[in-house]
Each structure stands twice: as structure tokens, then as C-alpha cells.
Chains A and B, each alone.
Chain A
Amino acid sequence: NAGVTQTPKFRVLKTGQSMTLLCAQDMNHEYMYWYRQDPGMGLRLIHYSVGEGTTAKGEVPDGYNVSRLKKQNFLLGLESAAPSQTSVYFCASRARTEKYSGANVLTFGAGSRLTVL
């Protein structure tokens, strides 16, 4: 059981280049999330998805796009990278439950470190 897998783990981009971060989960989770982590800022939600084919904006969505074509995958795209997007990106997923249960917990990937020069 791999859990949540993020690729790539490291990437260096030049300003203006594009790239896609891939998040894959094998737990059949409905909800998936992309966060960015910056020093002193904690984790901030970029976009999230509550099911296949649906996405929604989080706290800091500008400059990013996402797609959830398959339930197990959640892609984060940067169309024109900027130095302000240098960060560590975390993907997370959880099951959809309406009642309190142990499933109401986010499982995180190991992170993807992106540097934009």
C-alpha cells in the first residue's frame, strides 16, 4: 500500500516555464488536496477536489491549475512559473465520510520541492 505518491520530488524551473506535479493515491479516496508550504507560513491550500471531475479553489489558487480526470490522480500545473512559486508542495487525500470516524484524516505525500529561478 503506497498511500500518496508525489512526482517529481525535486524540480528546478526557469521563470516562465511550465510544469505539472502529479499526485497519485491508491486508497480509493474521494477528496484530494494540494498545499504549499513556505517558511513561517504553515501549509496553505491551493486547490482541492471532492471527487473525480470536480475541483475547487483554496486559499492561494492564483498561478496554478488542477485537474482530476481519474479518481486516483490529482495534477497541479504551473503554466508560467514565477520565483514566488518556489515552495514545497504537498498532496493529501482522505475518504469521504459524513460521520466521525478514523477515516476523516488527511494522508500526506512526502512533498515536492520546486525551485523557480
Chain B
Amino acid sequence: AQSVTQPDIHITVSEGASLELRCNYSYGATPYLFWYVQSPGQGLQLLLKYFSGDTLVQGIKGFEAEFKRSQSSFNLRKPSVHWSDAAEYFCAVGAGSGYSTLTFGKGTMLLVSP
């Protein structure tokens, strides 16, 4: 079965600074990887996804993520954080493109300081 680890429970970043949220997955074959964002009291919104092709994927709101098979990682990055990016971020893994279930990490709460 697949699993996801998000090592950082909370991260605080100054507005305008760069951001990297870490995600490590465990799955034997090529995974289907996602990043979702959840604002307080809201549902989950897809930021980006990866299954194959270019290992650097672009998403909405200026986010990008890089798939590194050798490190079993799919870290999320943004060059300049805005106050509106404060939210909880979830990494998720599916067992290939025809996945039945999606397994989520425990989330990383991003706080943005002025």
C-alpha cells in the first residue's frame, strides 16, 4: 500500500520569501502525485498533479512541484509567498493512473508573516 509523509507540521514564511513544502511517498511503481490546498473552513482545491513526463510540474497560483524518483519526493515550491497563501497543504499519492484510492499526508500548515 502507498503512504505519504509530510515532515513539517507547521512552517512560517515571511511574505515575499520563497517556500518549499516537503513530501515523501512510498510506492513501488510510478505513483500518481498530487498537492491540494485547504483554506480555513473550506474544502480541498487541487494545486497540481504528476503522473508522467516532465518531472517539474506547474500548478495554479504560481506553485510548482518537482518529482524526484531517486528521493521518493514531490516537494512543492513557490518563489514568492503572498499572505493569501496561508492555508494547509496536503500531499497525496495514488497507485498509478488508474488508482482506486488516494492516500493523503497529514498536512503542513503554512503561516505567512508580514
Contacts and interface: CB of A to CB of B under 8 A. Distances in A.
Contacts of A105: 34, 46, 49
Interface in B76-105: 90, 94, 97-105
Interface residues of A, number: 27
Interface string A92-110: 0000111111001110111
Contacts of B106: 40-42
Interface string A12-35: 000000000000000000010101
Contacts of A99: 97-98
Interface in A62-113: 90, 96-101, 104-106, 108-111
A98 B90 contact: no
Given A43-B104, A45-B103, A104 B51 contact: yes
A48 B104 contact: no
Given A48-B101, A97-B98, A111-B43, A43 B90 contact: yes
A65 B113 CA distance: 43
B32 interface: yes
Interface of A: 31, 33, 35, 40-45, 48, 50, 56, 58, 90, 96-101, 104-106, 108-111
